[in-house]
A and B are shown apart, each in its own frame.
Chain A
Amino acid sequence: MGSRNTDEPPLLQVIDLHLKREGRSILQGVNLTIDRQQVHAVLGLNGSGKSTLAYTLMGCTGYIPHRGRILFEERDITGLSISERGRLGITLAWQEPARFEGLSVARYLSLGMKEPDLERIRAALAAVALDESYMDRVVDGSLSGGERKRLELAAVYAMRPKLAILDEPDSGIDILSLGDIAALIQRMVEEGASVLLISHREEFVTIADVASLICEGQIVRTGDPGKVSRHYAHCCRPCDHHEIVETGKEYDERL
Chain B
Amino acid sequence: MSDFEAILKAYEASGGDPSFLRSPQVASLVVSGNKVLGANEISGISMDAEQLPDGVRVHVKVASGVHIELPVHLCFGMIPAEGVQRILSTFEMGEGASAEFLAHCTFPNAVRVQHIMESTIRVGPGARMRYTEAHYHGPEGGVEVLPKAKIVVEERGEYTSEFNLSKGRAGRVDFDYEVDVAAYGVAELLARVIGRGDDEITIRETVRLNGEGARGLAKSRIALRDQAHGRVFSTTEGNAPFSRGHVDCVEIIRDRAVAEAVPVVRVRDDRAQVTHEAAIGTVNRKELETLMSRGLDEEMAVDIIVRGMLGG
Known contacts A111-B296, A112-B295; A61/B289 CB under 8 A? yes
A98 at the interface (CB under 8 A from B): yes
Q: Are A98 and B308 in contact (CB under 8 A)?
A: no
Q: How large is the interface on B (under 10, 10 to 19, 20 to 34, 35 or more residues)?
A: 20 to 34
State the CA gap A82–B305 with chains docked (Å).
17
Across the two chains, which residue of chain B brings its CB closest to A93?
Answer: B293
Scan residues 271-310 of chain B and give those whose CB is less than 8 A from a CB of chain A. Answer: 284-287, 289-298, 301, 304-305, 307-310
CB-CB under 8 A for A100 and B305, given A82-B289, A86-B293 = yes
Task: Report the separation of the CA atoms of residues A238 and B226 in the bound assembly, to the nearest whole angstrom.
Answer: 54
B294 contacts A102, CB within 8 Å? Answer: no
Q: Given A100-B308, A102-B309, A102-B311, A255 and B295 touching (CB < 8 A)?
A: no
Inter-chain contact B293/A91, CB cutoff 8 Å? yes
Binding site of B, secondary structure by majority: helix, strand, loop or mixed?
helix
B-side contacts of A87, CB under 8 Å = 295
Residue of B293, B296, B310 near A58 (CB, 8 A) is B293
Cβ contact within 8 Å between A86 and B292: yes
Give the Cβ gap from B159 to chain A, nearest Cβ, in Å.
Answer: 22
Q: A103-B304, A103-B308 are in contact. Are A98 and B294 (CB under 8 A)?
A: no
Cα A15 to Cα B16 in complex, Å, equals 57
B293 touches A100 (CB 8 A): no
Min distance, Cβ B126 to any Cβ of chain A, angstroms: 29
**Bound Cα distance from A58 to B286, whole angstroms:** 13
A101 and B286 within 8 A (CB): no
A243 to chain B, nearest CB (A): 26
A-B contact count (CB 8 A): 64
Identify B309's interface contact among A101, A155, A159, A252, CB under 8 A.
Answer: A101
A104 closest partner in B (C-beta): B308
Q: Are A61 and B285 in contact (CB under 8 A)?
A: yes
Which residues of the partner chain A approach B291 to less than 8 Å between Cβ atoms?
Answer: 111
In contact, A112 and B290 (Cβ under 8 angstroms): no
Q: Is the CB of A255 within 8 A of B286?
A: yes
Among A238-252, those with CB < 8 Å from B are 252
Interface residues of A in 55-94 (CB under 8 A from B): 58, 60-61, 81-83, 85-87, 90-92, 94
Chain A residues in 8 Å Cβ range of B298: 81, 83
Report how far A102 CA is from B252 CA in the complex, Å: 15
Question: In the docked arrangement, what's the CA distance between A185 and B297, Å?
Answer: 27
CA separation between A85 and B309, bound complex, in Å?
A: 26
Distance from B193 Cβ to chain A, minimum over Cβ atoms (Å): 14
Please give the distance in Å from A80's CB to the nearest CB on chain B. Answer: 11
User: Which residues of B line the A interface, CB within 8 A?
Assistant: 250, 284-287, 289-298, 301, 304-305, 307-311
6 CB contacts below 8 A, A to B, read A83-B298, A83-B301, A94-B290, A98-B290, A252-B286, A255-B284
